[in-house]
Amino acid sequence: MKFNIIENQVNGVVKEATNKLIEQFLAHGHQVTENGDATVVFNLTTAENPRLFRRKSKSVFVVSLMRLPEMDVQQLKAICYRTLVRTLSNLVVCFVTQGDGRMQAYFTTPEVGFYTLPFDAAAVFARIMPVVGARFATDNQLDPDLPERFRGGSPVIADVRRYAAELDTLGVLPLPFPLDSILPERDRQHLYHIFGITGASYGNLSARESVPGFGDATFWMTGRGVDKRRLGDVGRDILLVKDFDESTGTVQCSVFPDSPETARVSVDAVEHYLIYKEFPGVGAIVHVHAWIDGVLSTRQNYPCGTWELAREVVALLRTAPDPAHCALGLKNHGLTITGSSLPEIFDRIRGQLQVSVPMFS
């Protein structure tokens, strides 16, 4: 793996911690490069002036590193997440020197993961490596071949609308994140160009519907960055996933000829596709940033939309007593819940969801 280091007016604490971290990467055979071929960029920055690294591909992972004074944890979390968004990073690592002189490393992810451990270069390296080595599978191919009869909806589409709105009444559906209040237009355009993201909203759901002439695992799924309380048009806020090109990591969606070119299905489509493909008894899937005590859980907090997360979820489902009716924990993230239908899933989870997701280092 090749990496680069970008310094933006940082102080000695961040440079010193970064140098120790770089020593770990070098000791494990990774290389520093300045030729534009880096797959990982360490962006040394500040919360006051959070400069971003403008990557050319989503395959480049950006880890922003900064320092903050000791403060209330919730305030620290808010600053770290805001910095993550403003720097368009895959991960923010914030160094905080405590009153006793010891330093903590706080990790913040786009999935609103926020956890900490005492700073130790080897331990921080061990947490970063799985993240920076993950591969996204979030590209979309929009085919204008959606049958006209779906303009009026279908019973399955009606379920998607109804239960997406119910997530809000259950208190587990944060509002879409207003990127325009934090990012200038140029940065929002860059975010769309690289990740196909026009806004940030958390949670998603999907449900099977067989469509003659399409693949064996067709399903409707909520769109990327949409307000799930008020889902709009089919082909924009709700998309039909008809297939998946595993060689390129591209979701193949069926839309109307006049659907917006900017429409994108949720980044978790790869995970849903693999679940539907392997487990025919699964008729619906719900993902929420919430928790249920006692669930099986993934061991690594891979980013949303990566092969690694999708495959770990599928592997974990294989160990479940009933994969078609299961709630799985996603470490420092939330839940993936399978069921025979959306009504069946919601009958099971009402009164069971905890809004606060436990965080583990």
Categorise residue 294: left if φ over 0, alpha if ψ from -120 to 50, beta otherwise.
left
Flag whether 262 is in a domain: yes
| Claim to verify: residue 170 and residue 282 sit in the same structural domain | yes
User: Same domain for 345 and 199?
Assistant: yes
Q: Is residue 306 part of a domain?
A: yes
> What span, in angstroms and rounded, lies between the C-alpha atoms of 236 and 222?
9
Query: Which of 113, 242, 222 has the alpha carbon at shortest distance from 166?
Result: 222
68 and 202 together in one domain: no
Domain membership flag for residue 315: yes
pTM of this structure: 0.92
For 248, the token pair is 């390129």
Asked if 259 contacts 235 with a C-beta cutoff of 8 angstroms, the reply is yes
CATH code at position 82: 3.40.50.10300
At 192 the pLDDT is 45
Same domain, 25 and 88: yes
Q: Name the domain boundary from 112, 132, 152.
A: 132
Number of domains the chain is built from: 2
For residue 357, what are the β-bridge partners? none
In a domain, 6, yes or no: yes
Query: CB of 329 within 8 A of CB of 317?
Result: no
Together in a domain, 145 and 120 = no
Instruction: List, as one string, the DSSP characters of 272-324.
Output: HHHHHHH-TT--EEEEES-B-TT-EE-SS-PPTTBHHHHHHHHHHHHTSS-TT
- The residue written with tokens 């520093």 in the block is 32
* CB atoms closer than 10 angstroms to residue 67: 20
Give the C-alpha separation, 60 to 71, whole Å: 32
- Final residue of a structural domain among 132, 147, 167: 132
CATH number reported for the structural domain that contains residue 171 in this entry: 3.40.225.10
Residue 360 lies in a domain: no
For residues 185 and 265, state if they share a domain. yes
Which pLDDT score, from 0 to 100, does residue 34 have? 85
Give domain status of residue 83, yes or no. Answer: yes
**Which amino acid does the sequence have at 225?**
G
Q: Does one domain contain both 18 and 163?
A: no
Query: What is the Cα–Cα distance from 58 to 194, expressed in whole angstroms?
Result: 6
The answer on 47 and 87 residing in a single domain is yes
Q: Among residues 102, 132, 162, which one ends one of the domains?
A: 132
Q: Are both 117 and 143 inside the same structural domain?
A: no
Burial, 170: exposed, middle or buried (Cβ in 10 Å; 0-12, 13-18, 19+)? middle
Whole-angstrom Cα distance, residue 41 to residue 99? 31
Let me know whether 122 and 145 are in one domain: no
Residue 61 resides in a domain: yes
Answer yes or no: do 126 and 79 share one domain.
Answer: yes
Count other C-beta atoms under 10 Å from residue 186's C-beta. Answer: 9
pLDDT digits (tens, 9 = 90+) for 19-36: 999 999 999 999 999 888
Instruction: Tell me, yes or no, whether 45 lies in a domain.
Output: yes
| Token pair of 350 as six digits | 């009402």
| Domain membership of residue 18 as a residue range | 2-132
pLDDT tens digits, one per residue of 86-141? 888 999 999 999 989 899 999 999 888 899 999 999 999 999 999 999 999 999 99
Q: Residue type for 330, please?
A: L
Same domain, 172 and 321: yes
d(CA 227, CA 210): 26
DSSP letters spanning 112-152: --EEEEE--HHHHHHHHHHHHT--B--EEEEES---GGGGG
Task: Mark the ranges of the chain whose per-residue pLDDT is less than 50.
Answer: 175-176, 192, 196
